[in-house]
């Protein structure tokens, strides 16, 4: 009888322990929200899906992704992340310049190389990204996870241009929130018009603007080539994006979950560095195939020279705005020299 009673007691205790264990696991299984400024098939979307997959395959947590337009404009998503409504944010560095001035570093004209091997090396080994920007993000309530390239910027217009003089008086749409983009197109001779992505299509259709800039993956995916006449490679920059987390949320994670988030970010970062290059090439390839009459121009080195000279004013302006700006720019230039020397 005592053995039977002991067995019953053991079963009750075991059931209780299992219930407690299951309850504890459920308590730690959370749904995290991730919003971004692009669609699921775009570079930020590819990064977010890879991040989500890693989290869900290696934990009981789940991630709900909110693509572009789901939760408002870029500024809305930033505010929601700062407020802790969103745990993760994917956003272009150009949009972030208005909130985190140092992020305009990635928008400066003629700083990042056009050579894809050098660019890849920089985004894998950059000290400015790994050592300097995280503390700056923390000051703005964010935990930096990744910064990655999406593709070389191309300028689409209704008429060809080969010099700053050709752009004189032309209204060029730029992303809102970035003072450097405004300064850049002023230096290039144009009249910059800050405008949200949601307003761009209508503005091109009604000739409210004379052109815009984006990587070819966006130009092709959203039919911007069918709304303009010429695509021009000036070599002045890349479209870049960041992934970050709400700092309070991240700080309150267990050490295990912090490592999980970092590992997911590293996993997604490696994937997007490969995929972004493919998407950029596919974008221009599809334009050539589906829109054979569309004119594609690559400015010669002599044609780029006056744009590069104008860019020096913008670079100096960025560095003069704060000591922090100058420090990150100096480190970026050192990182790029290292990339040039070591990229193979």
Q: Which parts of the chain have pLDDT scores under 50?
A: 1-5, 7-27
Q: Is the sign of the CA dihedral 74, 55, 152, 241 positive or negative?
A: positive
> What's the CA gap between 8 and 160, in Å, rounded?
86
> What per-residue confidence (pLDDT) applies to 95?
86
Q: For residue range 177-217, what is the model confidence (pLDDT) as tens digits?
A: 788 999 999 999 999 999 988 899 999 999 999 999 999 98
> What per-residue confidence (pLDDT) applies to 73?
84
Q: For residue range 94-141, what is the model confidence (pLDDT) as tens digits?
A: 889 888 999 999 999 999 998 889 999 999 999 999 999 999 999 999
Pairing mode of beta strands 62-66, 88-92: unpaired
> What per-residue confidence (pLDDT) applies to 5?
43
* Matching residue, tokens 């098939």: 41
Among candidates 126, 124, 53, 51, which has minimal Cα distance to 88?
Answer: 51
> What per-residue confidence (pLDDT) applies to 302?
98
Among candidates 307, 168, 321, which has minimal Cα distance to 235?
Answer: 307
> What's the CA gap between 217 and 44, in Å, rounded?
12
Q: At 11, list the tokens.
A: 């079963």
> What per-residue confidence (pLDDT) applies to 129?
97
CB of 92 closer than 8 Å to CB of 240: yes
The CATH architecture of the domain made up of 29-342 is 3-Layer(aba) Sandwich (3.40)
**In terms of DSSP H, where are the helices of the chain?**
2-28, 43-57, 74-82, 93-96, 116-125, 127, 133-139, 179-187, 197-205, 216-221, 247-251, 255-290, 301-320, 323-342
> What's the CA gap between 317 and 131, in Å, rounded?
24
The pTM assigned to this predicted structure is: 0.86
Residue ranges per domain, the chain?
Answer: 29-342
Bridge-partner residues for 149, per DSSP? Answer: 240
């Amino acid at each position: 009888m005592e053995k039977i009673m002991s067995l019953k007691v053991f079963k009750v205790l075991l059931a209780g322990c299992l219930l407690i264990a299951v309850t504890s696991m459920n308590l730690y299984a959370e749904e995290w929200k991730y919003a971004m400024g692009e669609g699921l098939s775009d570079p930020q979307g590819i990064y977010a899906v890879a991040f989500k997959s890693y989290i869900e395959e290696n934990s009981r947590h789940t991630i709900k992704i909110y693509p572009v337009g789901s939760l408002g404009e870029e500024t809305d998503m930033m505010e929601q992340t700062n407020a802790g409504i969103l745990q993760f944010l994917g956003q272009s560095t150009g949009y972030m310049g208005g909130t985190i001035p140092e992020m305009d570093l990635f928008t400066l004209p003629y700083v990042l190389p056009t050579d894809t091997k050098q660019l890849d090396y920089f985004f894998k080994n950059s000290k400015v990204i790994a050592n300097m920007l995280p503390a700056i993000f923390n000051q703005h309530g964010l935990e930096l996870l990744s910064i990655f390239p999406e593709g070389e910027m191309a300028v689409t217009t209704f008429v060809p241009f080969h010099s700053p003089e050709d752009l004189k008086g032309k209204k060029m749409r730029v992303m809102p929130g970035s003072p450097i983009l405004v300064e850049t197109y002023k230096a290039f001779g144009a009249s910059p018009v800050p405008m949200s992505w949601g307003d761009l299509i209508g503005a091109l259709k009604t000739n409210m603007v004379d052109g815009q800039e984006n990587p070819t993956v966006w130009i092709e995916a959203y039919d911007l080539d069918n709304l303009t006449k010429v695509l021009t490679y000036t070599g002045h920059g890349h479209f870049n994006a960041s992934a970050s987390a709400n700092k309070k949320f991240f700080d309150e994670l267990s050490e295990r979950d912090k490592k999980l988030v970092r590992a997911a970010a590293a996993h997604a970062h490696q994937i997007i560095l490969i995929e972004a290059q493919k998407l950029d090439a596919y974008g221009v390839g599809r334009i050539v195939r589906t829109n054979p009459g569309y004119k594609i121009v690559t400015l010669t080195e002599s044609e780029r020279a006056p744009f590069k000279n104008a860019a020096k004013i913008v670079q100096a302006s960025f560095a003069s705005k704060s000591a922090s700006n100058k420090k990150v720019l100096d480190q970026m230039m050192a990182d790029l020299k290292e990339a040039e020397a070591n990229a193979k």
